[in-house]
Structure 1
Amino acid sequence: MTSAPPAPLETGVVSTRRGRPPAPSHFRPRRIAGVAALYGILAILILMPVALVVISAFTTTTPRPGNIDLTSLTLENFAAVFSPGALRAAGNSLLVGIGASIVALACGGFLAFVTARSNAPARRFLYFVGLVPMFLPSFVGALAWGLLGGPNAGLLNILARDLGLGQVINIYTLPGLIVVLGIYYAPYAFLLIHASFSLMNPDLEEAARVHGSTPAQVLRRVTFPLATPAILGSAILIFVLTVENFPVAQMIGSASGLDTLPTYIFRLMNSAPSRGNEAAAVAIALVIVVLVVTAIQRRIVSRRTFTTVAGKGLKLAKVDLGWFRVPALILGIVYFVVTTVLPLLALLFVAMHESPYVASVTGAFTSGRLNLDEFVDVLTDPTVQRATVNSVTVGVSAALIGTVLAFIVSYVVNRTKTPGRGGLGYISMIPLAVPAIVLGLGLLWTWLLIPLPVYGTLLVMVIAFVAAQMPQGYQGASSGILQIHADLEDSAVMHGASRTRAIWKVTAPLLRVPLTSTFLLLLMLSMRELTVPLFLFTTDTRLLSIIIFDDFENGILQSSAATSVLYCGLIFVLAYLARRFGADAPKGN
């Protein structure tokens, strides 16, 4: 007589009573209620804003308190999509996306190859050069290059006149917009391509060399083709990010009447009267462009296999650059000067100049026209002080709530068997495909519509940031949870601990480093964000990014420059904290 096999343990639920199999998790009402609650939270945070944008595009009225009119359906709003202004904006967006992707791939890909695979000198410094533009918000870079490259009052042109030369640069053009976006999004290409070059299996390259290929042929036929997923993936990512970028396009394009789709949407919303329904229709067109481009990238990559990482440790051979070693270092230094040194010097110079009008760059140093008065004014300005407190409050709160929510959602998706849990992951990733200006528009209508007194408070900013950064939080939490075996937690449950206690005492401590890194990432993203809160701020809830943008739009360049310097200093501090307590924190056993 054979005994019956023991009932399998259900992940997430273990009975401690002998002779009694655990109840399947999907039979537990509390589990189902918990998942339903998460769906409700994500629906309000993400689905409702997107749905309201869609509804607005197909109706004649925009959502407002106490009224969503679903009877006045129309397709007339989409006429705005095919208007001359929208078509010009779409064409500009396409050129900007393609051009900025090429510039970013050239800069980031070059630095990635030099630091990962070459024998160039000072590779550690060049690695730092590849990353540092991430800590200078792109709209601050656009502000700085506006100060440097303006056709009349740009500092580089003024300096050229001091030296007896003519105009050397005009940043307020389509090529200028492309270059500024490209150099400040190059770090995304650098990180992705550097990782790909670092993980390659050198046996494939060695086999090519053994069969007579020259170093150039090995790079062209083996190395670069194997990096195709990273190169193509970063190109698509940068294309999407630059196409949906609003502040840089507004700062550089507005001076020359150059519209992209995000700036066109913003102008529709701020026209008198507001053309919110048409803005929603154009927003949907922008979302469709993003989704189509992403689908094309996935289809191309899925056709081929690029797996090269083996289970053994392999050392990559360095490519001898020969005579190009020193020029490679010089090119890296030039990129560092263009993206970081010159912009920061321009911000400092304008902030320290005694007047907003600069007649001579060299004369300012020789005649003692530089001082720190503007920094004193900014530091003592109650509006800036309030905005600083608001930024830190919103950033810390959004990062904390976002990390906790992302952990809970990721845990439910990856560690439980509750029916329908997979949909939580898909909803969490939706903001990645929705441009920030579209999400901001939807969040405005959502919190005007919901009968809760949060609009006009910092709470609505926190909610908006949690929604916008849910993909980054979810991915960060998931990567940590998937690295920890479920048996560790289940063992605690089998020894009598409740599931909640096991998570608190076992799983959470093991996730300290990834969750800390996720928190600091969300904090930095919140501090840098401008587009999402643009529709939500009031006089009392302005953030530092809003202060900088408002001062620029109103022509108060000295104040905008001084605030930008302090803003960048704060972000650099956060970057240090991210490395100090995140990446460099002890990993444990």
Structure 2
Amino acid sequence: MTLEKSELTRREQTLGRARSGARRLTVPLILYAVLAVLIILPIALVVLSAFSTSTPRPGQIDLVNLTLANFSTLLGPGVRGAAINSLIVGVGSSVLALAIGSFLAFVTARTNAPARRFLYFVGLVPMFLPSYVGALAWSLLGGENAGLLNILARDLGLPAVADIYNISGLIFILGLYYAPYAFLLIHSSLSLMNPDLEEAARVHGSSPRTVLRKVTFPLSLPAILGAAILIFTLTVENFPVAQIIGNAGRVDTLPTYIYRLMNAAPARGNEAAAVAIALVVIVLIVTAIQRRIVSKRTYTTVSGKGLRLTPVNLGWFRVPALVIGCLYFALSTVLPMLALFFVTIHKSPYVNTVLGSFTSDALGFDVFIDALEDDVVLRATVNSVVVAIAAALIGTLLSFIVSYLVNRTKVPGRNGLGYISMLPLAVPSIVLGLGLLWTWLMIPLPVYGTLLVLVIAFVAAQLPQGYQGASSSILQIHGDLEDSAVMHGAGRVRAIWKITAPLLRVPLTSTFLLLLMLSMRELTVPLFLFTTDTRLISIVIFDDFENGILQRSAATSLLYCVVIFVLAYLARRFGADQRNTR
């Protein structure tokens, strides 16, 4: 009898452990399923389409008729030219953005230049102006014949001063609007650098210029290379700027070539997938090179000592440094916004004179009011707000759950969740959008053609940013606080709700605002997913420009910028609140 009871007890214990293990695996398995649909399946369908004779359709995936014929497109002159242009644009705009960003970072972080707070603002503000809005504004400013700068030059009796519709113009615009990424990364590196190394070089007789060349800038190499790779990746995969500027100048890049293949009649989806894989390969190769360079040396400079950075005396260059910063501010923000405003208040879509417009009856707000009352603009604005809020809410929640499992638990497979969450960073937006199109055409759910598919697309595209934000916040909260609640009888979910979540209210709110702002700015990912009833404000701006409705496009862009600046202000306010609570 005793043996039977012991055997029964062992069976119950074994069954209890099995049930406990099953419960532990339930949430990770659900998350793997969600991330598989959001991220892995779209990427897999792009890869499969590149090797197939047909694109995925509802209820049909071609696993039989596999071929390499689609990759013959890569050998054609069109793809070769687009690839070369993409590399030229990526390298050129990266160099320009690094030059601008590193200059402003060095001046604001390490020198005695005047108005450094203003220059810090100058380095950041173009980040909140979508690059395609900047491209639209510069197309109004720098068109060879109808550009406002050239019209103004003609008013003054001068020759034309700008022609933006070429590969140089494309590099110029991308360099302007991606410089803030270099500024942020390099400014952080220069601000955190240990001054002992520089001081040792000065003690041994090195001049300030030699110290900068031999010590300061080499120690910032990881930040510089990281910024270079990030900017190269973003500019190589950038579609809207390349389409707005390159289309008029007959400059094809790989993203615009993919777009043209998908919009051909009939659509050449398999060839587009092959070109998309080539684009991904370029990004991965460049990223691997950067990691190999950085891994060969150590760049640790921050110690436990207090940092007292000695400002570099610019001498006579103090004022020119401020002037250069103001010039960048004018080119990246002031002139584009003035151009959008001028075209919006001009009563005619055709501008024959700039100076004459102020002395005649050519200006008024009728066009601006009509554009803001337009049903298409209003519906698109509402759609954008709804989609952005929903995507930010779902993205923040999903990011928190994934980050919590990765950083707070020991469940099997947790690290894989983190890797998958970061995967969209290595996939260009136009490629991810292509995969999402095929995914939601194939899955037998009535999602395509609704705002829900756009919400899903934004959550997938922005999961890396959400995951990084949630992870950095969770790692700042010690796990003992939550464990203490569990030890006193609270369940794990209740402990998270009552302890962890309130402590993370501010950082998670900041993550929500970041995702909200990114969703409002996004154009490329929903490019293949929107319909007439689900257009977003970014899509309306792009379509109006493509169809020559420049005034409404300019007016909508101004409204768009106001909304984004408000979101940026809110993000800054919450960021300040977060600092005050520490």
User: TM-score scaled to structure 1, two decimals?
Assistant: 0.95
Counterpart check, 1:40 vs 2:53 = no
The CA deviation at 1:514 is 1.5
Counterpart check, 1:311 vs 2:304 = yes
Q: 1:334 aligns with which of 303, 309, 327?
A: 327
Q: 1:66 aligns with which of 59, 71, 74?
A: 59
The CA deviation at 1:584 is 3.3
Q: 1:538 aligns with which of 514, 531, 556?
A: 531
Tell me the equivalent position of 1:426: 419
Supply the AA of the counterpart residue of 1:526. Answer: S
Counterpart check, 1:573 vs 2:552 = no
For residues 118 and 168 of structure 2, the distance between their equivalents in structure 1, rounded to whole angstroms, comes to: 29
Tell me the equivalent position of 2:395: 402
Q: 2:76 aligns with which of 73, 83, 99?
A: 83
1:548-559 mapped onto 2 (5 Å cutoff) = 548-559=541-552
Supply the AA of the counterpart residue of 2:265. Answer: A
Q: 1:450 aligns with which of 437, 443, 451?
A: 443
Tell me the equivalent position of 1:8: none
Counterpart check, 1:461 vs 2:454 = yes
The CA deviation at 1:585 is 3.7
Q: 1:115 aligns with which of 83, 108, 119?
A: 108
Counterpart check, 1:362 vs 2:377 = no
Poorly superposed stretches of 4+, deviation over 6 Å: 23-26
Q: Deviations 1:85-128 (Å, cap 9, x if unpaired)?
A: 00000000000000000000010000000000000000000000
The CA deviation at 1:27 is 4.9
Tell me the equivalent position of 2:192: 199
Counterpart check, 1:344 vs 2:303 = no
- Asked if structure 2 preserves the Cα contact closer than 8 Å seen for 1:26 and 1:419, the reply is no
Tell me the equivalent position of 1:415: 408
The CA deviation at 1:587 is 4.6
- Asked if structure 1 preserves the Cα contact closer than 8 Å seen for 2:97 and 2:182, the reply is yes
1:386-401 mapped onto 2 (5 Å cutoff) = 386-401=379-394
Taking structure 1 as reference, are residues 25 and 248 closer, same or farther at Cα in structure 2, changes over 3 Å only? Answer: farther
Tell me the equivalent position of 2:3: none
For residues 317 and 277 of structure 2, the distance between their equivalents in structure 1, rounded to whole angstroms, comes to: 47
- Asked if structure 2 preserves the Cα contact closer than 8 Å seen for 1:80 and 1:278, the reply is yes
Counterpart check, 1:127 vs 2:141 = no
Q: Deviations 1:305-344 (Å, cap 9, x if unpaired)?
A: 0001011222100000000000000000000000000000
Counterpart check, 1:208 vs 2:210 = no
3-state DSSP class of the match of 2:355?
Answer: helix
For residues 289 and 259 of structure 2, the distance between their equivalents in structure 1, rounded to whole angstroms, comes to: 28
For residues 217 and 541 of structure 1, the distance between their equivalents in structure 2, rounded to whole angstroms, comes to: 58
- Asked if structure 1 preserves the Cα contact closer than 8 Å seen for 2:133 and 2:557, the reply is yes
The CA deviation at 1:24 is 8.5
Supply the AA of the counterpart residue of 2:562. Answer: G
Supply the AA of the counterpart residue of 2:225. Answer: L
Taking structure 1 as reference, are residues 51 and 304 closer, same or farther at Cα in structure 2, changes over 3 Å only? Answer: same
- Asked if structure 1 preserves the Cα contact closer than 8 Å seen for 2:153 and 2:161, the reply is yes
- Asked if structure 2 preserves the Cα contact closer than 8 Å seen for 1:354 and 1:369, the reply is yes
Q: Deviations 1:327-367 (Å, cap 9, x if unpaired)?
A: 00000000000000000000000011011110000000111
Tell me the equivalent position of 2:285: 292
For residues 579 and 525 of structure 2, the distance between their equivalents in structure 1, rounded to whole angstroms, comes to: 35
- Asked if structure 2 preserves the Cα contact closer than 8 Å seen for 1:26 and 1:418, the reply is no
- Asked if structure 1 preserves the Cα contact closer than 8 Å seen for 2:46 and 2:431, the reply is yes
Counterpart check, 1:96 vs 2:89 = yes
For residues 510 and 289 of structure 1, the distance between their equivalents in structure 2, rounded to whole angstroms, comes to: 42
For residues 155 and 457 of structure 1, the distance between their equivalents in structure 2, rounded to whole angstroms, comes to: 39
Counterpart check, 1:168 vs 2:168 = no
The CA deviation at 1:30 is 1.3
User: TM-score scaled to structure 2, two decimals?
Assistant: 0.96
1:368-379 mapped onto 2 (5 Å cutoff) = 368-379=361-372
Tell me the equivalent position of 1:17: none
For residues 570 and 214 of structure 1, the distance between their equivalents in structure 2, rounded to whole angstroms, comes to: 48
For residues 450 and 381 of structure 2, the distance between their equivalents in structure 1, rounded to whole angstroms, comes to: 15
The CA deviation at 1:586 is 5.6
For residues 463 and 575 of structure 2, the distance between their equivalents in structure 1, rounded to whole angstroms, comes to: 19
3-state DSSP class of the match of 1:469?
Answer: helix
1:11-26 mapped onto 2 (5 Å cutoff) = none
The CA deviation at 1:580 is 1.1
The CA deviation at 1:382 is 1.0
Tell me the equivalent position of 1:238: 231
3-state DSSP class of the match of 1:361?
Answer: coil
Supply the AA of the counterpart residue of 2:122. Answer: V
3-state DSSP class of the match of 2:412?
Answer: coil
The CA deviation at 1:368 is 2.7
1:455-534 mapped onto 2 (5 Å cutoff) = 455-534=448-527
Q: Which deviates further from its counterpart, 160-169 or 578-587?
A: 578-587
- Asked if structure 1 preserves the Cα contact closer than 8 Å seen for 2:106 and 2:190, the reply is yes
For residues 90 and 347 of structure 1, the distance between their equivalents in structure 2, rounded to whole angstroms, comes to: 32
Taking structure 1 as reference, are residues 25 and 467 closer, same or farther at Cα in structure 2, changes over 3 Å only? Answer: farther
Q: Deviations 1:206-239 (Å, cap 9, x if unpaired)?
A: 0000000000000000000010000010001000
For residues 402 and 149 of structure 1, the distance between their equivalents in structure 2, rounded to whole angstroms, comes to: 39
For residues 323 and 354 of structure 1, the distance between their equivalents in structure 2, rounded to whole angstroms, comes to: 47
Supply the AA of the counterpart residue of 2:349. Answer: P
For residues 478 and 219 of structure 2, the distance between their equivalents in structure 1, rounded to whole angstroms, comes to: 31
For residues 88 and 514 of structure 1, the distance between their equivalents in structure 2, rounded to whole angstroms, comes to: 45
For residues 129 and 272 of structure 2, the distance between their equivalents in structure 1, rounded to whole angstroms, comes to: 30
Structure 2 portions without partners, runs of 5+: 1-12
Supply the AA of the counterpart residue of 1:525. Answer: L
Counterpart check, 1:265 vs 2:250 = no
3-state DSSP class of the match of 1:537?
Answer: coil
- Asked if structure 2 preserves the Cα contact closer than 8 Å seen for 1:348 and 1:561, the reply is yes
Structure 1 portions without partners, runs of 5+: 1-19
For residues 238 and 105 of structure 1, the distance between their equivalents in structure 2, rounded to whole angstroms, comes to: 9
For residues 420 and 584 of structure 1, the distance between their equivalents in structure 2, rounded to whole angstroms, comes to: 36
For residues 136 and 517 of structure 2, the distance between their equivalents in structure 1, rounded to whole angstroms, comes to: 20
The CA deviation at 1:583 is 3.7
Q: How many residues align?
A: 568
RMSD of equivalent CA atoms: 1.2
For residues 435 and 130 of structure 2, the distance between their equivalents in structure 1, rounded to whole angstroms, comes to: 24
The CA deviation at 1:496 is 0.7
3-state DSSP class of the match of 2:454?
Answer: helix
- Asked if structure 2 preserves the Cα contact closer than 8 Å seen for 1:25 and 1:417, the reply is no
Tell me the equivalent position of 1:229: 222
Taking structure 1 as reference, are residues 308 and 116 closer, same or farther at Cα in structure 2, changes over 3 Å only? Answer: same
Tell me the equivalent position of 1:220: 213
* Structure with higher helix content: 2
3-state DSSP class of the match of 1:61?
Answer: coil
3-state DSSP class of the match of 2:161?
Answer: coil
Taking structure 1 as reference, are residues 24 and 207 closer, same or farther at Cα in structure 2, changes over 3 Å only? Answer: farther
Tell me the equivalent position of 2:434: 441
Q: Deviations 1:133-165 (Å, cap 9, x if unpaired)?
A: 011000000000000000000000000000111
For residues 131 and 586 of structure 1, the distance between their equivalents in structure 2, rounded to whole angstroms, comes to: 19
Taking structure 1 as reference, are residues 506 and 81 closer, same or farther at Cα in structure 2, changes over 3 Å only? Answer: same
The CA deviation at 1:80 is 0.8
For residues 579 and 107 of structure 2, the distance between their equivalents in structure 1, rounded to whole angstroms, comes to: 29
The CA deviation at 1:82 is 1.5
Supply the AA of the counterpart residue of 2:118. Answer: F
Tell me the equivalent position of 1:145: 138
The CA deviation at 1:582 is 3.1
For residues 421 and 499 of structure 1, the distance between their equivalents in structure 2, rounded to whole angstroms, comes to: 17
